[in-house]
Amino acid sequence: MSGAAETISVASPADFHVHLRQGELAKVVTPHVRQGGFSLAYVMPNLKPPITNTEQALLYRAQLQAIDPAVEYLMTLYLSPELTPEEIRKAAAAGITGVKSYPRGVTTNSEGGIESYDAYDAVFAAMEETGMVLNLHGEVPSVAETNICVLNAEPAFLPHLRKLHAKFPKLRIVLEHATTRAAVECVKSLGDTVACTITAHHLALTVDDWAGQSWNFCKPVAKYPDDRMALQEVVREGHPRFFLGSDSAPHPFQAKATASPTHACAAGLYTSPVLLPLVAHLLESFGALDKLEGFVSTHGRAFYGRRASASDRRVVLRRVSSKVVGIEGYGAGPTHVVPFWAGKAIGWELVEEREQEA
């Protein structure tokens, strides 16, 4: 692919961190995985109630498959006190891929999150034994007495990551949605069993973009320009342990657009419908377009042992001069969602399969 190529072909894009919600909202947003160019979705478990056992995960997967059977859904469990080594072995045997850890109260539906990892040593040992992946939301809760807030909660979490890796060196761990240079440097310093996802929106945003703008507000929040530069640099480097996890998180329009004196706006950005063109657009903006396939497919698939086969579909992107993301969104009423980047132009679009075959 040359720097001025008019089309790009990408093998089996895979999103290794996505929220597909439940009920009527899931029916609206699940088809957007494929609409955004992706054929694999690594699905988060923070529903209401959260997915804490094998039966719930399998039922949730069946519900998603009923909405769009063309996507491969990799399922996760929510790390909670009910989770046992026996349940881990059962989940692994049933094809459940990972366990997601949420520190208590740091993001959407994390009220049941953990406060200490020490109690889960037996669970982590079983995960190491069975090959399941530990997915870490890498923040600690805000505590005024120790000067911890949303801007430094990620660096404050990194000692936990180092300790877990030292104690369970064969356990595959993914630090999710990194936002800081400290997180990038930490992951790079650790062994091959530790990887890191990066979102599209954290490649674009800094703190100035979400201060006062609910449509750019997510958790973890975007940080300083130097932190964004570190994320861009590691993508441009093509580091094999850093790959896309969109953290695409749809919220109803009203919850996202408004705050009140007693209630904050919803935290989360919805990127699924425009994901692959958006990632191409952003990577091109900082000179990393040639790393697109590694970032959105090869690296993550290799880490998770889900390599694309020669027969898998390749997705084709075509350069466009100015394609604006619509502000009208999708769904209606309580399922009305509007994507990130609405009202802005993207320089790439997906080529429909029928056009590729013509």
Measured between alpha carbons, how far is 352 from 358 in angstroms, rounded to an integer? 10
Q: Is residue 105 part of a domain?
A: yes
Q: What is the CATH number of the domain that holds 29?
A: 3.20.20.140
Q: Give the pLDDT of residue 114.
A: 60
Q: Give the pLDDT of residue 1.
A: 42
Q: Residues 306, 242, 298, 206: what is their CA dihedral angle, to the nearest 10 degrees?
A: 120
Span 216-244, average pLDDT: 98
Span 85-103, average pLDDT: 96
Span 283-288, average pLDDT: 98
Confidence of residue 5 (pLDDT cuts 50, 70, 90): confident
Q: Is residue 19 part of a domain?
A: yes
Residue 216 predicted with pLDDT over 80: yes
Q: Is residue 349 part of a domain?
A: no
Q: Is residue 154 part of a domain?
A: yes
Span 232-255, average pLDDT: 98
Residue 311: C-alpha distances to residues 12, 189, 255, 308, 318 (Å): 10, 36, 42, 8, 22
Measured between alpha carbons, how far is 249 from 266 in angstroms, rounded to an integer? 10
Provide DSSP, 131-188: TPEEEEE-----BGGGTB-TTTHHHHHHHHHHHHHHH-TTSEEEEES--SHHHHHHHH
Residue 25: CA atoms inside 13 Å, Cβ hemisphere, count? Answer: 18
Range name among 41-55, 102-116, 163-177, 298-312 with the lowest pLDDT average: 102-116
In sequence order, which ranges of the chain are alpha helices (DSSP H)?
23-29, 32-35, 54-67, 85-93, 121-130, 153-167, 181-189, 207-210, 225-237, 253-257, 275-285, 292-293, 299-304, 353-357
Q: Is residue 22 part of a domain?
A: yes
Tens of pLDDT, residue by residue over 105-119, are 555 554 544 667 989
Span 338-354, average pLDDT: 92
Q: Give the pLDDT of residue 308.
A: 85
How much of the chain, in percent, has pLDDT values that exceed 90?
Answer: 90
- Other Cβ atoms within 10 Å of 1 Cβ, number: 11
Average pLDDT, the chain: 94
Residue 120 predicted with pLDDT over 70: yes
Q: Give the pLDDT of residue 355.
A: 64
Q: How many domains does the chain have?
A: 1
Q: Whose structure tokens read 């109803």?
A: 252
Q: Is residue 292 part of a domain?
A: yes
Tens of pLDDT, residue by residue over 140-191, are 999 999 999 999 999 999 999 999 999 999 999 999 999 999 999 999 999 9
Q: Give the pLDDT of residue 310.
A: 75
Q: Is residue 125 part of a domain?
A: yes
Q: Is residue 59 part of a domain?
A: yes
Which of 133, 128, 185 shows the shortest CA–CA distance to 154?
Answer: 185
Structural domain range at position 121 = 14-313
